[in-house]
Structures are given as C-alpha cells and as structure tokens.
Amino acid sequence: MSISFLLWIALTLLPQGVLYDMEATEVVVKTTDAGERYFSYLITNVGSDTAPAGSYEVFLSVNGRVISLDTKTSALEPGKSLLYTSETKFIPNSNKTKPLKYKLKIQSKDARKANNQRQGEIAW
C-alpha cells in the first residue's frame, strides 16, 4: 500500500479526535441556617482544547428528578471550571429516612465519556 493511500484512510475513515474533555468534577451538598439542603457542583474542561459553546449540556438530578440544568452552555477553555448552584432546596422531613440521591451528568461528544457523570447519596 502506498503512503498516500494510508493517509487517505486515516483522514477519511478514522474518527477525528476531539480534544476537549468535560468532567463532572465535584458535587457538594450545603445546608442553610434553617437546615435546608441544596447542591453546588463543578464541571471542568480537562482536555487540551476549548469546549465550544453549546457543545455540552449539564444536568443535576436528585432522587430521579432534574432540579438544575444548563442547555445553553458557554465555551470553556482547557483547565477552566464552571461552578453551578441549584436554587432547589430540600427540607428535612420528620423521620429523615430517605437519602438524597444525586446524579450530575454532562451530555457531550467530548474525548472521554467515562468522566461525564458523578453520582452519590447524602444521608440526612
């Protein structure tokens, strides 16, 4: 095979590399003075290229319900992060038996899908 044919195969048939990589970095549960719980969460571009505006969407779900989302995202440079704070507050119930199960998800066509999600559970 000629070098030009191999180059043609590489340029036309192999997927082109995406160099931005969105990471669901951290989810923190905070408590108000009244004892209500709310979520703050961080996403980071850990790739080597800028994530274009609109190339990713961010969703935070608690107990299966989306409580915060960003579908009109801005460009994010490599190494930079965005901090979000949910306005939804959770009031403790009297028996406090049901934990808060959260899931932070980034929908994107970035370099790695494995780091686009973070989930956990917070006990009262």
Domain ranges, ordered by start, for the chain:
17-122
Helix (H) or strand (E) holding 3: helix 3-12
CB 69 within 8 A of CB 24: no
Q: How far is CA 101 from the centre of its chain?
A: 16
Q: Which amino acid is at 83?
A: L
Pick the CATH number of 17-122 from 2.60.40.10, 2.30.110.10, 3.50.50.60, 1.20.1080.10: 2.60.40.10
Model pTM score = 0.83
What does the pLDDT read at residue 124? 76
Q: What burial class does residue 115 get, using C-beta atoms within 10 Å of its C-beta: 0-12 exposed, 13-18 middle, 19+ buried?
A: middle
Instruction: Render each residue's pLDDT in the chain as its tens digit; 124 residues.
Output: 666 665 555 445 444 678 999 999 999 999 999 989 999 999 999 999 999 999 999 999 999 999 999 999 999 999 999 999 999 999 877 666 688 999 999 999 998 999 999 999 988 7
| Dihedral over alpha carbons 45, 20, 107, 124 (to 10 degrees) | -20
**Termini Cα distance of the chain:** 65
Query: pLDDT, tens digit, for every residue of 29-56?
Result: 999 999 899 999 999 999 999 999 999 9
How many residues in total does the chain contain? 124
